Every structure is written in C-alpha cells, then in structure tokens.
A and B are shown apart, each in its own frame.
Chain A
Amino acid sequence: MTELMMIALCVLLAYALYIAVQCTRKDLDTGNHVDAGRNLPTWTYVFAASGIVVSSLGLPDHLRLLSFYGLQSNQLVLSLTIAALTGALFQRRLTIASRTIGVGTAGELFGAYFQSTTIRLYLLAVTSLFAVFFAAHALTDAGMLLSATTGNLPVAPAIAAIAFFLFLFSAIGGWRAVIYVTAALSALVLVLMIFITGFSAEAFDRLAALSVSGIARPEGIQTDTIPGVIQLVAGIGKEPPHGGLWTTAAGASFAIATIGIVLSPGFSFLGLTTRTRLGFAFSQVWILAALATGTLLLLGPVIGAEMAASAPSAPTVPADSSFVPLVGRLARADQLVAAFFIVMLIASLLIAVSFFAVSGASIFTIELVDRYLVRDMTGSRRRLAARIANATIFFMAAVLASFLPIITAILSSLTLSLSAQLLPAFLGLCWIRWISRRAVIAGLIVGSLLVIFTEPPGLVLFDGLLVQLPWGRWPLTIHSAAWGLAFNIATCLVVSLWTRDDLERRHRDQLHEVYLRDHRIAFGGRAARAAKWSLPLLWAFFALGPGAILGNTFFSRPIFINRDAVLGAPSLWVWQIMFWVAGVLLAWWLAYRVRLSIVDTSSVGTSVLTDKTWNAGSSRQPEWIELSLARLTRRETMARQVKASP
C-alpha cells in the first residue's frame, strides 16, 4: 500500500508542478507572481475558499473527534454555515472597499480606513501566526500521518519532503498556481470523501458500524447526545466535562472561532485577488453551506463509526494513530482505496499549509518589503522578494513541525481565536461607521488577552512563571474565541460611546458614503429588516446555541406522545440535518436574494481614502529602515569596489 500511496502523492506533485509551470510560462508579468494580477478566476475561489475553511478546521482532527465523541462533535460541522454567513456579510464590501481605495491586502485596507499602524501590525501578527505556526501544525499532522501509515518513514524526513514539494511548486508558479492547486485539492478531497464513504458502505457490511452499533462509546462519553447546554467546569486540564466536551456552549463558541478563518488576512487576500461577480455567493451557499457541510455532516459520522469499529479497544483519548486500524481494514478490502484515504487526509492538510504559508509570503512582500524595505520594486525583484519570503516561511514551518511540534501546537491554538477578534474591525469597515480606531484597538487588546489566558500559551506561561490560575483551557466549556470576542465587543462598544464622533469620523464616512451611494443593499421595510437580522440569530440559537439541546430527544421521544419513536438514526443527527438544510436556505436568502454576496465592481473607481497625508497609513519608509538599508548596501558596494580595484 505504501507504494500505491507514494504513486498517488507523486501524481499530485506532478499535477502541482505542471500547473505551476503553465502559470509561469503563460504569465510573463513577473509582478503578478505575488497576487496573480488580482485576477483569479471565479471557479478557483468557489472551490478553494470552501476547501480552506474545511482544512483549517482539520479534516483528520474532525474525524478523530467524531470517532471519539460521536455526534456531539458533529455539531462543529454546522459552524461551516456560520463561516458561510460571515463570508456573505463581509466579502462583498471588502472587495468594494479594496477596489474603491485601490489597495490589495486587508492590512492596507484597515490601515487606510482606520488610519492605524497598530491594526496593520495586529494583522501582520495574525498573518505570521497563520503562515508559520498554523501551517507548521498542519505540516506536523501531515508528516505524522505519512509516517504512521507507511510504517518505516521517520516523521522529520516526511515533513521536509512535503515542505520542499509545497515550496517548489509555489515558488515556480506563485499565488495563481497555489490557488489553482488549492482549488483542485479541495475538489479532490470532496470527491474522495464521497467515494470512500460509498466504498465503506459496500465493503463493510452496509454501514453496520453506524446503523447497528452506533459510534463506539468510550467510557463516560455520550456519543449520541449533547452533554448539556453549558457545564460549570474549570476547563480542559483542570476538570474534565461530564459526558463529553461538546456542550452547546462549546459548539456555538467553536463556531465563533471558525469565523476567524474567514476573517484571516490570508482568506481576505484570496477574496481581494479574485475577479468575481457571482463567485462569492456560489461558494458560500452551494459549496460551503450546502456541499461541504452536507458531506461532512452526513458522511463524517460514517467514517467516524468505522474508525471506532476498527479500533482494537475503546480509546481513552482521541489519539493521533486512530486512523491506522481503519486504514488496515480498508487495505484488506482494497489497497488502492486505503491509499486514497490517506491521500485524502494529507491533501486536506496540504491545502492549509500551502495556502496560509504562501498567502503569508505574499502579504509580507506587499506590506513589509514593498512598503518599507525596498521601495518601487520592479516585477522581477518583487517575485524574488516573494520567493525569499516563501522559502523563509516554509523553512521555519518545517523546522518547527519537525523539532518543536508541541510548542507549535500550543502557539497555533491561538491563531483562529486571535483572528476572530478582528470582527469589530470588519464590522466597522463594512457596516458600522461609528466604530472608531481607538475602540477597535482597545477591543483587540482586551480580546487578545482573554484569548491568550484561556488557551495553553497564557496558561502555561502564567502557571510556570507566577501562580496557578484557577481555570484551564476553555473554562465553562466556552471556546477562547468567544471569551475574547465577548470582552472585545463590550470594550469596543464602551470606547465607541466616547469616540463615535471623533475627528476621524469624516475620514471613515467617505467609504460608507460610497457604499450607500453606489452599492446600496435594499434591506426592505421594518419587518424585512427585522427578519434579516433575527432569522440568522434564531437559526444559530437552535442549530448551535442552547436550543440544540432539544435535538437530543426531539425526534426519538416526541413531546406529544408517550412512547419512543423508532427513527433508525439518532435524534441528534436528524436535528443536525434539518438545521443544515435550513442553514443552506438562510445562506441562499442572504447571499442571493438580499444580494449580500453579489459583487458589481463595474462602477467602482479609486476615489476615496487615497490621501497619503496621514502618517500611519502612508507608504513612507521609516527613517531608521532607510538608514540601515543605506548602510548595508553602501558597505556592500564599497566591498565590491575594493575587490574590483587592482
């Protein structure tokens, strides 16, 4: 099987290299290496965006959780619909703002709108977390998976090989090739997931594992029900929740962390470099909310049940090696399909690694190198800078993944939650004009502190240096993203009360005037407006929030009759499927009917917020960088002159 898996991975390598070479041969404008000329085709966004969201959640992690916690962790899949709705809320206006102001990255956009270097730096910090630590964590997973299933390949060479392959094709083809390959891998993962589940149904006694015995029950875990609305426990590492981790509070707050993927600078960069009219809506509604959510919601438990059924004994924790028994079982039925199962898992991880590493390299090139270090670069120098940034990021990710996997895992746990803290900034840029720079920064500081102290980095650091904190990770089974965002929004609102009409208001108003004048969204009358904000909240309450607890018994023990109904499937699963369908309808209504995601950039011209008079957002090279660079380059020039002289 190892040989077959290597051949399948080599096919992917050959495909990626072929696409990269095609891109670099056809696109002779070397400057486009960084951002594909901001002209990516719609179909790439359609597949790539959904693939990125799914792979950021972590397909192998999700299957592991399913095989251990059962349907309570299947709740997490519904957070993909929240990601789709968040995309619908922001992507369109972000694109319009970027075209109106004439900038190409989220950092530049927020810098220009809020006139703030701090927010730009925060975005760069989040970018580096995604590009290095998050990518390194996914790289560790991919390497360990490859090593565990081949049996004789050590983890470090596996990681190095994967990192080199990803660097090679991205360095050749640039951003365009990366997105083409990301789109292709996303489609491949989706197709293979459907195929492998169908194959399992045929080869393994027609889904007996799920339909007859259910997902195996580790001791103390409620696999078919949600273990409460909230649990008053101190958090992971201090006090284990009873019946499983995924209470409704955990599920809903995890959905808030999922927002962090859509708000990440890399994801915004993808949206801003796409030429699109209907691509956003199609991707959010039909691919992410409908296809990806549906596939994971319906087929994930099948694979999870087979994983649990294949394990020799009931696991006590969701282990990294929990795929191995299922792979062995698949290989006994057909070696190639077993190889494809591993390829599917690895491909889903490669999406996250390549996308976040290369988007990070592009953003650093535009926002740091192009802006502060080497001004007015030519196309080929820009490409060289991007390749150097790319190589640096992949090297750091590979080293961290190989030699410091625990530190990488600890630091990458912050990524999504810190990215989710950008929500008030996005709301300010796209919808609420009175959210001021100072309010956003204050909120970011408070929110980030809360995130850090409800995740391992803060806890480990504080416990090690000072005193033991009374709480652990995710206290009260609430995800760190939700803790951070609650305090972030509260701070933002309080500060906005005093700063809503500050001197910068007129500057911010310019962009909102453009929205109102040229891109107005008809929300309708009073009732229609109320429906548009209340229906998503109602859906979230019942699908992910406290109302989801009703799903435990809603269909198996209906409230108006005194006996149990025989469904043939757990009540919770039916509840989740029902709200998946409702979520698709909701996303369709908002994205298409309300036109939240329909972009018409034909009337957009670069017109506002383009003044470079304010210091923070201007592309002025700081004096100390200018002097340092001058000193270095002068020394090099002098050395060359000395060498050349007889």
Chain B
Amino acid sequence: MSEPEMRELDRHSLVMTSWLCWGFVAAGSFSYGFGAGGVAFVTCGFLVILAGFVVHIIINAVHGSYFTAGELALGLVAYGVALVGFGLALLFSQDFARRQFLPVSLGLIIVPAVVLFYMIIHFGIRRTFASFDVIRRFRPE
C-alpha cells in the first residue's frame, strides 16, 4: 500500500469512526426527544450532528483533504431521507406536528446553513456559488 493510499484509508476510517459515535448519540437524542424528552433532546440531537460535522472538518484539515464524493453523496442522501421523514411525520402525526415542527424544522434549516457557512469560509462566495451553479456546468463550452 502506497503512503497516500494508507493516509486515505486512515482518514476514511477516522471519519467513519467519528460518525459512528456521533450517529449513535444523535439517534438516542432524537428518539428520546421525539418521545418524552421534548425540545431539549431534539436540539441536542442537531447539536451532535453539527459537532460531528465540525470534527469531520478538523479531520479533513489535519489530513489536508476535503470531503470525498462518497461522503458528500451519503450526507445528501441522509439529509434527503430526514426531510422526507419529517414531511411524512408532519402529514401522518398531528401530535408530532404540534410538538416538534418548530425544533425539527429549525434544525433542518440550521444544518445546511452551517454547511453553507463553512463552504463560504473555505472557498469564498464565488466558488461556493459556482459549486451549486448547475446551469453553468451544463452550458456548452
């Protein structure tokens, strides 16, 4: 195994380990928060996810790398599933809609806002916009 490959494997394992830990804690917080725990534990769940994101950034900085395509895709899929789940819960559970709408919707807004904030700091406004500029990407040269 070459040195860069080994570093990539180390980094990837560390990232996975970090998300394994944060994921368990976030799942526990959300589970109790959606039940008897209330807003405090739901907020705690979102804070844990943000903490996981910050740790991921630190790992990237230490290893001099950026999010891989797989990690980005996994993050987007997880966020999409969370959005769909939230929508379905709002539709089918009145109690959930009454008690959890505000904290969960705020959390679902804050998480991408933090990601965007990080991208702006990391890339600058122009490159951040460019990374979402699908029209330019498909424009003929």
Contacts and interface: CB of A to CB of B under 8 A. Distances in A.
A337 B27 CA distance: 9
Contact of A28 (B1, B18, B28): B1
Interface residues on A, range: 35 or more
Contacts of B16: 15, 18-19, 184
A333 B10 contact: no
A17 to B, nearest CB: 12
B9 A23 contact: yes
Contacts of A187: 17-18, 20-21
B24 interface: yes
Contact of B31 (A47, A180, A336): A336
A184 B10 contact: no
A389 to B, nearest CB: 23
B24 to A, nearest CB: 6
B17 A191 contact: no
Contacts of B14: 41, 43
A334 interface: yes
A37 B1 CA distance: 9
A188 B28 contact: no
B69 to A, nearest CB: 15
A188 B21 contact: yes
B1 A15 contact: no
Contacts, number: 83
B17 A184 contact: yes
Contacts of B12: 22
A195 interface: yes
Interface string B2-21: 00011011101110111011
Nearest to A343: B24
Contacts of B41: 202
Contact of A334 (B1, B6, B36, B40): B36
A188 B24 contact: yes
A191 to B, nearest CB: 4
A343 B20 CA distance: 13
Contacts of A183: 17
Most interface-central of A28, A43, A192 (chain B CB within 10 A) = A43
A199 B28 contact: yes
A32 interface: yes
B71 to A, nearest CB: 13
Contact of B21 (A29, A191, A335): A191
Nearest to B27: A336
B24 A22 contact: no
Interface string B54-92: 000000000000000000000000000000000000000
Given A43-B10, A202-B40, A203-B37, 15 more contacts: A27-B6, A47-B17, A184-B13, A188-B20, A191-B25, A195-B24, A195-B25, A199-B28, A199-B32, A333-B32, A334-B31, A335-B31, A336-B32, A337-B32, A343-B24
20 contacts: A15-B16, A15-B20, A22-B13, A26-B5, A27-B6, A29-B1, A39-B6, A47-B17, A184-B16, A184-B17, A187-B17, A188-B20, A191-B21, A195-B25, A202-B41, A333-B32, A334-B35, A336-B31, A337-B32, A340-B24
Top 8 A-B residue pairs of the complex, sorted by shortest distance between their CB atoms: A336-B31, A184-B17, A41-B10, A334-B32, A191-B21, A27-B1, A180-B13, A195-B25
Interface of B: 1, 5-6, 8-10, 12-14, 16-18, 20-22, 24-25, 27-29, 31-32, 35-37, 40-41
